[in-house]
Structure 1
Amino acid sequence: MKKLSSVPSSQQGVALIVVLLFLILITLAGAIAVRNSTTDLRLTTSEQADVLLLNTADNSNKSIEQVINIDKNDKQAALQKSIALSSAGMFGYFMNVGAEENRGDQIVFCYRPRDAYFFRMNEATVIDPSGSSKLVTGSTSSKGFCRVSNAADFSSARNNVMTQVAVTRPSSDMVASEPFEYVPTQRSITTSNVNSSSPNFRLFSTSFLPGMTTASEEDILDCLKKPNQNAADYGYAGKDKDGKDVTKYYDQTLTQCLASKGVPAKTLVEDVKLENLLKPEKCLDYGKGTASNTISAECQKLLNISASGTPK
């Protein structure tokens, strides 16, 4: 009868250890692969979020530019420009007679590109550096600040990104410029004519992703109420330890506050100059009468005369 040989128990133990080592190595390799994949995914998500925030903030600045550089034949656009340059507009607030005291104020509003209009003062807040935030004519619940609970405040129908805009005309001590730098040629300088200079403005467009943070709506709103620059120069009404009304000053800017709350955000800052372009209009060639040269409609309106030159 043939005998069967058996494997010694010591050899079986060595084989088991080798198999376990291979299993451990395979597990470690899988864990490293998963970790690397997770890291790559996070990096990709972060880069996509950064691009989204930058593009959205840039779009708001482009929209402001389009409000001014309009097609004259577009009546709706002309109306929006008129509002922007009026005393209740984002630019006119700083330009009209007596508006010198408004220098340094920040007009804050939520960028809503899906609305039929770009800006309304009754949906904005003016932050006054003199000691408190002053509301001009705000009547809505948002008071110019983006609210996470309001779907209309999101920049797109996907409800993922918001943009808050602040427009300011820096005070003279904040802008280094040469004498008469912002005065166009062929213009007289008068205090009553807002077109006698080319005022400079500063735009702050802050885009943020409220869905990528655990911060509450009130935490985010608290950040959005903070100034965009020079936080210590902007005050707000508060109480001292004795309960008396005092002026307190901010210790963080808007962007710093959002970062401390873990809210992905990006602020785009642009300095712009509102140019008053001079476009000459030839009414009549010198030395020629109206028999062969009819006065243009623009000149008739400008000089309040008829096509033949007769005063109306």
Structure 2
Amino acid sequence: MSNHPQYKYPATYPSTQQGAVLIVVLLFLVLIILAGVIAVKQSTTDLKLATSDQINALLLQSADNANQSIEQSINGSSDSDIYQAMMSRSGPFGHFVLDTNSTNHEYVFCFRPRDRFFDINRTTILLPDGSNILGDGNGYCNTSSKDDYASNRNTSMTQVNITLTPPDADNEAFGSYTIGQDSGTISSQAYTFDINNTSILPAYADAKVGNKNCFEQTSRVTAATSKSTDTIGGCMSKAGVPSTVLYEQANVENLSLRTKCVDFGKGSVLLCTLPSS
């Protein structure tokens, strides 16, 4: 029988303090991950907002540029080529002034500011039933044509749709006629037009809904069967194309035959006088 002394070693147990430190570290890691995810989402949202603002500014500038070019061409010299093109029977304003059957027509052309912004040979007159009576549809903007883009960067393009403003019962009776002129004379009438400029960024999506080309849709909201697809703005929205439709109402009149009243009821000068220009 052995007489060697026996020693009992204390039983070992896992340290509860080391386990608590591990849990705390894991909690900190989870918090850091959550903070990183939130920061990434916030930066992504900020980037989307900044991109959206840039897109809206670009589209608005492109659409407004078309309005400025149209205004300058009409208010400029009547001897200029662009004025005569705009006011001729085949032009966007002369068509309505000189053709008594044009009330329900819609004049369409693609705005091309890099050259002469309006080409009388590349226009379309759209009828309420969707058919064309001029240009065989070549007035519509074409996303595959480099000439239809506003700049050499091929970023944005703008289409102009012009219609006569529908009659309104609230308008003053005979308010569109020149004082002292025969109502049968073309030059005695003033015309009000609805101008809708649609600017898009084709790089983001195709300007089509199925086989329907959005550029070929009407700008008349009241004349559309379905406002989501049968109007140019609604169709672009459904197609997912970044777009802006800028609406402007313009008056075209012969100022040389209209009277302008100044200082009404004041002084001893004439109440009304012909404008100097």
TM-score band w.r.t. shorter chain:
0.7 to 0.9
The CA deviation string for residues 174-209 of structure 1, in whole angstroms up to 9 with x for no partner, is 57422221112343322xx32111111110101111
Measured after TM superposition, the shift of residue 104 of structure 1 is 1.9
Measured after TM superposition, the shift of residue 151 of structure 1 is 1.4
The CA deviation string for residues 61-101 of structure 1, in whole angstroms up to 9 with x for no partner, is 111101111146xx6xx1110111111111111111xx221
- Summarize the alignment of residues 193-204 of structure 1 with structure 2, pairs less than 5 Å apart: 193-204=185-196
TM-score, normalisation: structure 2: 0.80
Measured after TM superposition, the shift of residue 20 of structure 1 is 1.3
Measured after TM superposition, the shift of residue 251 of structure 1 is 5.6
Q: Is residue 2:130 matched to residue 1:163? A: no
Counterpart position of 1:110: 110
Counterpart position of 2:252: 274
The CA deviation string for residues 40-63 of structure 1, in whole angstroms up to 9 with x for no partner, is 111111111112111211111111
- Summarize the alignment of residues 233-312 of structure 1 with structure 2, pairs less than 5 Å apart: 233=223, 252-278=230-256
Classify 1:176/1:205 alpha carbon distance in 2 versus 1 (closer, same or farther; 3 Å): farther
Measured after TM superposition, the shift of residue 269 of structure 1 is 1.0
Counterpart position of 2:265: none
Classify 1:251/1:184 alpha carbon distance in 2 versus 1 (closer, same or farther; 3 Å): same
CA distance in 2, matches of 1:159, 1:118: 16
Q: Is residue 2:174 matched to residue 1:180? A: yes
Q: Which runs of 5+ in 1 are unaligned?
A: 1-5, 236-247, 281-312
| 1:127 and 1:134 in contact (8 A); partners too | yes
CA distance in 1, matches of 2:117, 2:91: 11
Percent identity over the alignment is 37
| 2:228 and 2:238 in contact (8 A); partners too | no
CA distance in 2, matches of 1:279, 1:125: 31
Classify 1:125/1:176 alpha carbon distance in 2 versus 1 (closer, same or farther; 3 Å): farther
Measured after TM superposition, the shift of residue 157 of structure 1 is 2.1
| 1:147 and 1:217 in contact (8 A); partners too | no
| 1:126 and 1:134 in contact (8 A); partners too | yes
Classify 1:217/1:148 alpha carbon distance in 2 versus 1 (closer, same or farther; 3 Å): farther
CA distance in 1, matches of 2:169, 2:162: 15
Measured after TM superposition, the shift of residue 230 of structure 1 is 3.1
The CA deviation string for residues 247-297 of structure 1, in whole angstroms up to 9 with x for no partner, is x999631111111111111111111110211279xxxxxxxxxxxxxxxxx
Counterpart position of 1:49: 55
CA distance in 2, matches of 1:49, 1:221: 24
| 1:80 and 1:118 in contact (8 A); partners too | no
Pairwise CA RMSD: 2.8
CA distance in 1, matches of 2:147, 2:224: 29
CA distance in 1, matches of 2:109, 2:195: 12
Counterpart position of 2:146: 151
| 2:60 and 2:244 in contact (8 A); partners too | yes
| 1:121 and 1:137 in contact (8 A); partners too | no
Counterpart position of 2:261: none
TM-score, normalisation: structure 1: 0.72
Classify 1:220/1:276 alpha carbon distance in 2 versus 1 (closer, same or farther; 3 Å): farther
Measured after TM superposition, the shift of residue 24 of structure 1 is 1.0
- How many residue pairs match? The answer is 247
Measured after TM superposition, the shift of residue 137 of structure 1 is 3.6
Does the residue aligned with 1:263 lie in a helix, a strand or coil? Answer: coil
Q: Which has the larger radius of gyration?
A: 2
Measured after TM superposition, the shift of residue 35 of structure 1 is 0.4
